[in-house]
Amino acid sequence: MFRKVIWLSLLVVCIVIVGCQTNKTTTLTSTTETTSTTITTTLYTTTQAEPKEVIIDDIIIVTENPTQYEKVEIALYGDVKKIKKEGNPFNYNYLNITGTFISPSGKTIVLPAFWTRDFEISIDTSFKGAPSGISGKASTNPNEIQGRQTITWIGEEHYRLRFLPEESGTWHLIVTIVKNGIVVQAKQKIFEVNENAINYRGFIQVEPQYKRNFIFQNGELFIPLGQNTAWYTSSTRRTYDYDVWFKKMHDNGANAARIWLATWGFALHWGNKYDEFRLDCAAELDRVIELAELYDIYILLTLINHGQFSASVNPEWDNNPWNIKNGVILI
């Protein structure tokens, strides 16, 4: 799935924190997890003290049969009530949880965990209500799927990691939990990634010499051909608009689409509280990206649409969570 997203703009903040106290030790080459805080391989060593506080109780590899060049999801479970009582799980100043992935060859990838919840999105095709348009005209074509989309939440909220392994073999994961600026816990997991025989082209990037074209990591040219499908227009079938659109695009040779994180669509962060996020929009965006992968559509993801910071053109500034009157520093 990750290889289907072209980031138009991306802000990555990487914080690497290393603690250096020790009481007990263990070797990462063992598949047995302990509360030990020294983790050693022939290529990587880190040392941590006994947990000052247990935030994460368990690390679960959610993806069945993790496979090279495919998305792998890892759930980090803890005491949800305690986590939410003591702070905002979306706030990295409160809890900053990172996963350090160590590949079989010794390469490291450090990624932030995010707060989420499992879900299932379905459509009730027996629903006969007429859809209204959302910044556009809703389809009522009887030859297309029609109905009302619903989101069903599954299990409890938790932190999660996602990454794309480019190597097969034994991977080591070190989860570091920083609470209010202090390292309080480190936990490790070992898992296997199966080899993938596909012709992996890699991520899309700008051609480095002339900077005029897009290419895959393997040097193959990528020419985007598609359209602006920035948000769903049906108030009832919602993301099922994309089942129709992406299939038609694929059948006609298109390979790219632009998606907006618009406030009336997929925006993850909107409203008069800067510290709240919309998990329902995150779930819908996940589904659309999965559909894009199914139909070989590459996504140009627009993180902020123009009106969010405008007081005159399509103005939405009054409701922007980054407006000082809604809680934060921009004026």
As a whole number, mean pLDDT of residues 208-232 equals: 96
* Count of residues in the chain: 331
* Cβ neighbours for 42, distance < 8 A, ≥ 6 positions apart: none
Percent above pLDDT 70 for the chain: 83
* Cβ neighbours for 263, distance < 8 A, ≥ 6 positions apart: 270, 305, 307, 308, 316, 319
- Predicted confidence at residue 330, as pLDDT, reads 56
Q: What pTM did the predictor assign?
A: 0.84
CATH 2.60.40.1930 in the chain, residue ranges? 10-119+152-193
- Predicted confidence at residue 324, as pLDDT, reads 85
Residue, of 70 and 41, whose pLDDT is higher: 70
pLDDT in tens, 72-117: 999 999 999 999 999 999 999 999 999 999 999 999 999 999 999 9
- Predicted confidence at residue 50, as pLDDT, reads 85
**The domain over range 204-326 is classified in CATH as 3.30.750:** yes
Residue, of 319 and 221, whose pLDDT is higher: 221
- Between CA 69 and CA 11, with CA 116 as vertex, the angle to 5 degrees is 65
Residue found under tokens 């009887």: 142
CATH 3.30.750 in the chain, residue ranges? 204-326
Q: What is the full DSSP assignment across 260-272?
A: E--TTTT-SS-SS
pLDDT in tens, 16-67: 323 333 333 334 433 333 333 344 433 444 455 588 999 999 999 999 999 9
As a whole number, mean pLDDT of residues 296-311 equals: 94
Residue, of 15 and 57, whose pLDDT is higher: 57
Residue found under tokens 């049969």: 65
- Predicted confidence at residue 329, as pLDDT, reads 58
Q: Would you say residue 273 has pLDDT above 90?
A: no
As a whole number, mean pLDDT of residues 261-277 equals: 85
**The domain over range 10-119+152-193 is classified in CATH as 3.40.50.1370:** no
